[in-house]
Structure formats: structure tokens, C-alpha cells
Structure 1
């Protein structure tokens, strides 16, 4: 198994796509070491994606793409400006509020950064904010996308760890608000330190008009979370409902989406979904190899021989996830690490819903840093900055993000209170 791990890391560092690295290293074990028939690979990969909860993946991706292309982001941003533009460091606060709202529709950090980021960075620069500060707050706020439900990483984690996706969605609500408070507090600190002013006077009329314009879009999170909470539909059906609602808004209410755009959005969704499912399938095969070679069992025994303290395990897990998040995209990281870490956390009494939210936040922070941080690359293109400058712009924003991570890690009730209230967690 050491040889397989070495080949996986070597192939990955050579720049080969993650799913090929996973599948190739697994093939070497099954074909050359274990001597198993080649159809085992296809059987295990197909079994990995033969899951009803995974049907939610393409629909959540489609819903996010529809929201981005139907002009909904502009209405959300206008409402956020009316809500928070009067604060010190107004547009930076608006950036965070906008991400909170959009997070309830998109489910991914990259969709948040690409959709709202284009509007937010330009508006902040036009109002005299530095490009670095604009990029930093946009990067930090984009991490809210997969924490506040719906969340694509939660779907993958729930499927891989056999954890209720509804519980994960509810579990992400309060941690998302905690992150929001930390980031808004950091903006207030920067505003006081650098004497930032207010960007817009507060007007009830403006707030009312922008709320009315954005209200149909704001119903999307209520449809998704409310429907699942009250048992009206499953996460997969919630994703379909979100798509139907986004189409209704874009095609008929706002009339900002054409059938030609819809065709392009559908093709983009198919492409993204194919990439996600290839990673999940290859990671399922790789996870099966880890289980077959008893790596997961040995890892559990090794960790528990060092300590049985849940707090030490949480600290070690955070360090591991922060490092892995800088090298692997979240879907691949979740698919590989959940089979390895789940036995450990269950044995020391860590709730899998709590761990899932913590894991996702760690991996979102990894998206902001080289060598493979996708949000970093997206914002670098939007702001027309070098990767080095973009990285340095984001670094100060690790302060509120790591502060949030510490709170979420060591205060489990922040995650578990809502799922417990609705009977998802005992």
C-alpha cells in the first residue's frame, strides 16, 4: 500500500487530474498486486456513484448556474447594499451580507466568488477601496457558500459517511452565522483602523424597493431548507425544486434568462457534474482499496494508541484537513478522507454532523491558497492580479476564518443545536 500511496502522490504532483491519479494508483493495486479482474475497477467506481443522494449534485449545480445567469445576483447585491451600505466599511459589509444570501442558493464557494465577486470587486474599487482589500473580503466571504445550506460538499460527505444530509444542512446554519459575525467584526476593525467611511445613507424606501425586487430570489433558501425540515421533500427533491424556482424567476418573472442561455447553462452543468462524479467514483475505488488493505483500520488504531482525547483528535484533524485542502479540491478530499477518519471520530464520540461542518470549513479555507486553491485563481482573474498578490491579499482574512474554525470545532452545540431541535440528532 506504501507503493500505491507513493504513486498517487507522485502522479498528483505531476499535474495529472485528481480522478486519474486516484484511479491509476488503485488500478496498480487491484491489477498488479492483488491480481483481481479488471472489471472490479469499473464495478467499484460504478457502485460509488450509484447513490440516490448524489442525484442532488447536478441539480444544485444547475440551480447555482441559473441564479448566476438570470440576473438574480444583481438584485441580491442591491438589497445587500441597502441593508449594510450605511455601516463603516459599508461595501465590505455588503460583500459579506451578499455572500450570506447567495450561499442559500448556490452551495459552492466558486459560484459565490465568480457570481457575486465580479460585481463586488468592481463596486468596491469604484468607491475607493484597494484592490487587495476588495479581493480579500470577497475570498473570505465566498467560504460561506458551502457552509450555509444548500451545500454540495455536505451532499458528498453525507453520502460517503452515511450521515443525514438534512442534518448537515441544518447544522451549517449557525456556523455560517458565526463566520459572518467574525468577518463583519474584522471589517469593522479594519474600518476603524484605516478610517473607512460609509458608502450609502440608510433609507427605508430604498431598503423596501430592493427587498421587493429581491424577495422572490430570497425565497430560494426557504424553499430548500423549509421543505426538508418539514419533510415535504428529500435533499434531491429540494435541489430539483430550487432549479424549477430559478427557471421560473429567470424565464418568466425577471425575463432575464433566454432559452439560448439555458442551453449553455445546461451544458456547463453537465460538464461540471461529470467532473464531480468522476472524482467521486475514483475516490470510492481508492477508498475501497484503503479499506481492503486495512489502512483505515491501522490508521484508527494508530491514532487511538496516541490519544483517546476527542479534543486532540479534533486538533490533529484540523491540521490534516487544512494541509490537504491546499492540495486537493474539496470533493476529492472528502471522498478520500471520510472513510479514513470516520471510524476514528465515532470511536472517540465526535458527532459526524459536527465533524462534517468542521471538515467542510477546513477545506473551504484550503480553496483560498496555492497550489490548487480554485477561489484564489478565480479572483486572481477577476481582479487581474498576480497569484502572489492575490495570496497576500487573502492572508489577513485567515484571522476571522481561523477564529470561526476554532469556535465551531470546540463548541459542538453551534452545529448540533438546530439538528437536535428538529429531531435529526439525539
Structure 2
């Protein structure tokens, strides 16, 4: 009953355009006062501070800053040129360029919104100029960006790992195979669209052109190798890898490419600061809510209730899939992870579900939420760039959402898909 009232209050505040972080804090403090009186608020500030200062969380502002710095340099243009030389000879090649570049760019930024903002501003106008419908251009840009967040590094994965007390590195590794499979499936779907609607070939294949664009983008290709190689090799932690990403981005953009001046650096820092503030305020507010829920033993009660219905872990996963898909309609991925994961983890552990496996399930579920209105943060960004109606884009986007759902089912019910590499390297 308490949880239901809190959810109603939270939704009501959000409908009145109260920021989600503020709404979470208000609901938590009202619940605390109602349960234990005003004295319960004495430690509220300390709880929020401690919740937002976890060491792994430091990687989030650093990855955001690295992505913002690379957005300000010519990285996006160089990556697109190479992908175009590689895939442009195929019918509908520019759509495949969109997917391929998106998957690679996410290995630097870890953010689907940053992916859309950086690449969409270049690729969507280019696709429209070549005769692709703006709805298709927005749909493929949006969906490929969401798919890309399951390829490391990924900010939603970092948040999940902190909330679930799981290994960031193992969750990163678990996302590699599903991400590649999803990317190939989206490319196949894009080719089917291209054949059916006679979308154009971008350019004639030329090994010389491939070699030239590869040399132009060679330093950009080194970035994920440095970051992920250091993390997976055990040389650095995920947080230290994020710091390394910032240093590498500054060096490549400012020294190698020479197109990162002080003005662009200032803009990158401001953008990174704003995005970080949004995420960390959510984390701080959720810490307050988490303490209240823990004290009231709400997660344990939820676990006991669902366990009384079924103990089969795949049935539990089905219930949680439906739950997260619904939550994703109304909450941004960061807010949903921060709010819901601590509540369901006792159930996940009781059902014998590997927390790393469940991390992929959660990330994909909430990634689909980025494509499904009314919230659909990534989809709205793509629609804004394409100047297209969100509902018209959603109609075109349904097959690409279908690919995301297929990857989700594969990850959920064939655990070897995400977990094989984790088992091989770490267990």
C-alpha cells in the first residue's frame, strides 16, 4: 500500500512537470516523515551526499566529458567517412553507415543521447538529402543509438552495477556479443528496407578510399582500444578508464586533430557538467528513497510475494521484463535503474539469477523504453534533429524496436549469449 501511494505521488508530481530527481526527493521525505516523524530528516543530507559519492559513479561524469570533447572535434566526421567507404557501396549503405558509426561511437561516450546528438546532426540531414524519408532516418538513428548502450562503456550499466553491487567490468563484457548480434540484425533490416523502397547506393567501393579514411580516423579507433583494453586487461578500473578516456580525448582532439580550441573545450565542459548534474541529483535523491525502502523492508516483502507465486527464475525474469518495459514508458533509464533496481535485487538473488545477466536484461528493457513514447528520450532527440513527428517516426521504428525485443528475449532466455565471455574470462 505504501509503495502504491508513493508511486501515485511520484507520477502526479512528474505530470506537473516537477523534475524527476526533485519528485523522488519529495516522495521520499514525505514518506519518512509520515513513518517516523520530522526527526527522520536529520540525516537526509548526509544520506544523499554518501549516495552520490560512490567511487564507481565517478566514471559517469568522466565518460560524459570524454564524449562531449570528442563531439566538439572532428571524430564524428572521420568515423562516418570511414564507415561510408566500408559500407557505402551496398544498397541503403548510408543507413548501415548510421548503424555502424553509432555502435562505434557508443564505445567512447557510453550515452545513447550523446550518440544521437553527435551523429544524428550529421547523418540525418545527409540521409534526407539522399532521398531517405526523414521518419526512416530518425528511426534508424534512434534505435541504433539505443542498441549501442549495451556495448561498453555504458552509463546505464555503470549505474546498474553500483545499485546492484555487481562487477562493472563483467557487465561490460556481457554486453559485447548481444550488441554485435543486434547491430548485424539491424543492418539486415536496413538492407531489406533499402531493397524494398529502392534506397540509393552511397558510393562505389574503393580500397584506396577505405585505406585513406582509415588513416584519417586511426587515432579515433585507438580510443576504445585504449579504454576497453585497459579495463578488460585489468590494468585500470572502469573509473580510471573513464579518466584515461578524457586524457585521450583531449590529446587526440587538441594535439592530433588540432580542432579542439578553448571555446570548444569550454562548451564541452559545460555540456558535461549539466548532464552530470542531472544524473547525480537523481542518484542522490534515490539514495534517500532507498534508505526508506530498506528500513521498511519493502524489497524483501516484494521478493517474498513474487516467490510465493513462482520460484522459477525464467518465470521471474518474464515478470520483471514486463515490469521494466512498463516502467520504461514513463521513466528515463537512469531514473528507472536508480529507483527500481534496489527494490527488485532481493527477488533476483532469491530466484538464483546472476546479477550480471540481469544487468543486461535491465539495460535492454530500459533501452527499449528510450524508443517508446511518451518519454522516449532518445527518440525525441532524433525526431527533433530530423524535424519529424514522433508518432510517425514510431510507426517506422516498430521493426527496429522488434530487433531490440528479439535481442532482449535472446539475452533473457539464452544466458550463454551474454555470459559466455564472462564465464571464459572471469569465472
**Pairwise TM-score range, normalised by the shorter structure:** over 0.9
Which residue in the other structure is 1:12 paired with? 14
Q: Distance in 1 between matches of 2:158 and 2:40?
A: 31
> Where does residue 400 of structure 2 map in the other structure?
397
State the 4+ residue runs in structure 1 displaced beyond 4 angstroms.
none
Aligned match for 2:30, one of 20, 28, 31: 28
Contact 2:108 2:223 in 1 (8 A): yes
Q: Aligned ranges for residues 412-423 of structure 1 at < 5 Å?
A: 412-423=415-426
Answering whether residue 75 of structure 2 is matched by residue 60 of structure 1, we say no
Listed as ranges, the matches of 1:282-301 within 5 Å are: 282-301=285-304
- How far apart in 1 are the matches of 2:6 and 2:110? 33
Q: Is the 8 A contact 1:77 1:98 kept in 2?
A: yes
- State the TM-score, normalized to the length of structure 2: 0.96
Q: 2:148 aligns to what SS in structure 1?
A: coil
Describe the SS at the equivalent of 1:308.
coil
Q: In angstroms, what is the RMSD of aligned CA positions?
A: 1.4
Is the deviation greater in 28-37 or in 129-138? 28-37
Deviation at 1:4, TM superposition (A): 3.0
Separation in 2 of the partners of 1:180 and 1:105? 17
Note if 1:119 corresponds to 2:115: no
Matched, 1:385 2:385: no
Q: Distance in 2 between matches of 1:344 and 1:33?
A: 24
CA distance in 1, matches of 2:333, 2:319: 18
Deviations 1:71-96 (A, max 9, x none): 10000100110111112211111111
Which runs of no fewer than 5 residues in structure 1 stay unpaired?
none
Q: Deviations over 1:237-259 (max 9, x none)?
A: 10011111111111111011111
| Partner of residue 257 from structure 1, selected from 252, 260, 265 | 260
- Secondary structure of the residue aligned to 2:60 is helix
How many Å apart are 1:60 and its aligned residue?
0.4
2:222 is aligned with 1:207: no
| CA–CA separation in structure 1 for the residues paired with 2:50 and 2:159 | 14
Shift of 1:197: 4.3
Distance 1:203 1:345 in 2: 51
After superposition, give the CA deviation of every residue in 1:211-244 in whole Å (9 maximum; x if it has no partner). Answer: 1111111111111111011111111110011111
Equivalent pairs, count: 424
1:306 to 304, 309, 313: 309
Does structure 1 residue 224 correspond to structure 2 residue 227? Answer: yes
Say yes or no: does 1:355 pair with 2:358. Answer: yes
Q: Which one of the candidate residues 120, 128, 140 is aligned to 1:137?
A: 140
Query: Could you tell me which residue of structure 2 aligns to residue 343 of structure 1?
Result: 346
Matches of 1:5 and 1:90, distance apart in 2: 45
Q: Residues 401-425 of structure 1, C-alpha deviation per residue, up to 9 Å, x if partnerless? A: 11111111111111111222221xx
In structure 1, C-alpha distance between the alignment counterparts of 2:393 and 2:212, rounded to whole Å: 36
Deviation at 1:145, TM superposition (A): 3.1
Instruction: Tell me whether 7-16 or 176-185 shows the greater mean CA deviation.
Output: 7-16
Distance in 1 between residues matched to 2:199 and 2:333, nearest whole Å: 35
Q: Within 1, Cα distance between the matches of 2:129 and 2:186?
A: 22
**Matches of 1:317 and 1:186 in 2, distance apart?**
28
CA offsets, 1:336-385, max 9 Å, x none? 11111111111212111111111111111111222211112211211112
How far does residue 386 in structure 1 lie from its aligned partner after superposition?
A: 2.5
Q: Name the counterpart of 2:111.
A: 108
Q: Is the 8 A contact 2:131 2:199 kept in 1?
A: no
Counterparts of 2:260 and 2:76, CA distance in 1: 13
Contiguous gaps of at least 5 residues in structure 2 = none
Residue 85, structure 1, aligned to residue 92, structure 2: no
Asked if 1 retains the 8 angstrom alpha-carbon contact of 2:116 and 2:142, the reply is: yes
CA distance in 1, matches of 2:11, 2:199: 46
What SS does structure 2 have at the residue aligned with 1:29?
A: helix
Q: Distance in 2 between matches of 1:165 and 1:48?
A: 17
TM-score, length basis structure 1? 0.96
- Show the 5 A alignment for 1:35-74: 35=37, 36-74=39-77
Offset at residue 396 of structure 1 (A): 3.0
Please say if residues 130 and 200 of structure 2, whose CA atoms lie closer than 8 Å, have aligned partners that are also in contact: no
Match of 2:247 in 1: 244
